[in-house]
Structure formats: C-alpha cells, structure tokens
Amino acid sequence: MKRLLSLATGSLPEFSPVEVVEAAAAAGWEACGIWFDAATWTAKTTRDTREAFARSGLIALDIEVVWIHPGAADPNHERLLEAGAEIGARNALVVSSDPDIEATKRRFEGICRIAERCGLDACFEFLPITAVKSLPAALEVIRAVSHPRAKLLVDALHLARSDGKPEQLRDLPAELFSYAQICDAPAELTPMNHETLLHEAIDARLLPGEGELPLQRLLAALPAGLALAPEQRSRALRERYPDAAARAGVILRATRSFLQTLGDTG
C-alpha cells in the first residue's frame, strides 16, 4: 500500500498557510498541514487557504494546534476546528499543558464533540515538554474520553524522548491512528531537560536516516500504510534553504529515500 506523505507545517514555520500549500505543491508533496494563528487568522485566510488547496490538488492532512491550557475553554479552539473543516482538513492536532489530567480529559472530550460536528479527527499528541508527557498518559486521556473522533498522534522524537518504545504501539487498534509524525535525532539527548528538549523539538530535528532513532521499528509497529507527516523543525534547514519550495523538496526527497531503503512504498 502506498502511504500518504504530508509536509508538516512546522517544517515551514515562517511562511503563511497559502505559501505552505504552494511550496508543498511545487515540491511534489501529496498533502500538507496548516498552522492556525488565532491572532492573524481571518475569514480571508480560510478562503485563500481553501482556494490554494483546490488549485494545487493537495490534501489538507491536518491543522494545528488545539492547545489545552488551564482555565476556561478557549473559543479559538472552535474557530480552529471550524476553519479546518472549511479548508478540508482531515485532522486537528491537540496537546495539553494543563497539569490537571481530569480537566484535560473533560476539555478533550469537548474538543472531540466539536471535531465530530466539523468532520475532523482530534489527534492527541504527547510531548515530554507538556503536561501529557508520555504514551501511557496520552492513552489514559483518549480511553477516558472514548470518543470515535479521539485519535493518538505519535511523533518519533517525542516517543523516544519520553522513554517510549515503538513496540508499545504494536498491539494498539489501527483505528486509534490517523497519521504519525517522523523525523530523526541522536539516540540520546544530553543533558535532557525542558530547555534542551524544547530546543531539539523546534530547532534541531534531523532528516530521516541522519540520526539514530528507531524509525524502522516505529514504522513496523504502526498500522501498515499509515499516513506520515515528516516534522522537520530545524534551524539548519531554515538557514540553508530559505526558499520554502526548496526546503519542502529537500524534506520530501530525504523522506522518500529513507523509506525506500526500508522497502517502503511511501
């Protein structure tokens, strides 16, 4: 089965949604993700982004990020999900910085209900730099909510840095996944603290095959043919490839080359 490859929007963080779509299309991607900036997103942004997807023929794999914070529900979450529906996004990425796990469960349940109305899956991502730091913690949230739109999003880097193992994913039901994010990195991060984890996540990711993460084991543990969104947040790539289409092309070629070494049809 040929898997869908989608350019994660974090790979082009300095570009607008329309520019991300156009760069992904020029580079030969089949899909891409979109960043929703609540402060700048308008009805025109929705319209322009929807039209960019229509012109390019690309799939809108995801829109991000629904970020759960302590306190009252954020009305921008519903704005994001509604915008995602209008541009044709399949998924919305969700994370939580609320240390109250029960509050996170309640908020995620509400997000899932809105996502269902909008026709999106709500994909919960765990990160060691947030309140829900690990795979078991994310599964606790998802299972407590028990909503058909509640999905698990695994990022290869965050799985490794939270001491997770690919084999922990093997027996999870395939319907729990909509897509996964991949990148590479050294096997270990030293020292490992909030500052170094944050720096690596947003500035120091490596292209697949350039590091030592167990990506082959990860892909073997995930459902066959699952869509992949290479998340290549990298200062080095930003500096070396300031042109959006050129950077998108480098990421696509590296990803395809790596998958081919595994006999993958991506």
CB atoms within 10 A of CB 240: 11
Averaged pLDDT for residues 17-37? 98
Is residue 266 one of the residues assigned to a domain?
Answer: no
Cis before residue 65, ω within 30 degrees of 0?
yes
Residue 214: pLDDT over 70: yes
State pTM to two decimals: 0.95
| 87 and 49 Cβ atoms separated by less than 8 Å | yes
- Alpha carbon distance 20, 25 (integer Å): 9
Residue 265: predicted pLDDT: 57
Q: What is the extent of the structural domain holding 163?
A: 6-261
**Which residue in this structure is represented by tokens 């909008």?**
118
Is residue 134 one of the residues assigned to a domain?
Answer: yes
- Alpha carbon distance 42, 79 (integer Å): 10
Is residue 215 one of the residues assigned to a domain?
Answer: yes
Residue 243: predicted pLDDT: 98
Is residue 1 one of the residues assigned to a domain?
Answer: no
Average pLDDT over the chain, rounded to an integer:
97
Is residue 104 one of the residues assigned to a domain?
Answer: yes
Is residue 109 one of the residues assigned to a domain?
Answer: yes
CB pairs under 8 A, 24+ apart, for 173-176? 174/223, 176/142, 176/151, 176/152
Averaged pLDDT for residues 138-163? 98
Q: Return the CATH number at 15.
A: 3.20.20.150
Is residue 111 one of the residues assigned to a domain?
Answer: yes
Closest listed residue to residue 213, CA positions, set 166, 178, 254, 256: 166
- Alpha carbon distance 50, 21 (integer Å): 10
Residue 266: pLDDT over 70: no
Number of separate domains in the chain: 1
pLDDT tens digits for 237-264? 999 999 999 999 999 999 999 999 998 8
Cα separations (Å) of 6 from 145, 161, 266?
Answer: 28, 23, 10
In this prediction, what percent of the chain has a pLDDT beyond 70? 99
Q: What is the DSSP string of the chain?
A: -PPPBEE-GGGSTTS-HHHHHHHHHHHT-SEEEEE--TTT--HHHHHHHHHHHHHH--EEEEEEEEEE-SSSPPHHHHHHHHHHHHHT-SEEEEEE--S-HHHHHHHHHHHHHHHHHHT-EEEEE--TTSSS-SHHHHHHHHHHH--TTEEEEEEHHHHHHTT--GGGGTTS-GGGEEEEEE-B--S--SS-SHHHHHHHHHHB-B-TTSS---HHHHHHHSPTT-EEEE---BHHHHHH--SHHHHHHHHHHHHHHHHHHTT---
In this prediction, what percent of the chain has a pLDDT beyond 90? 97
pLDDT tens digits for 91-135? 999 999 999 999 999 999 999 999 999 999 999 999 999 999 999
Residue 117: predicted pLDDT: 98
Averaged pLDDT for residues 23-51? 98
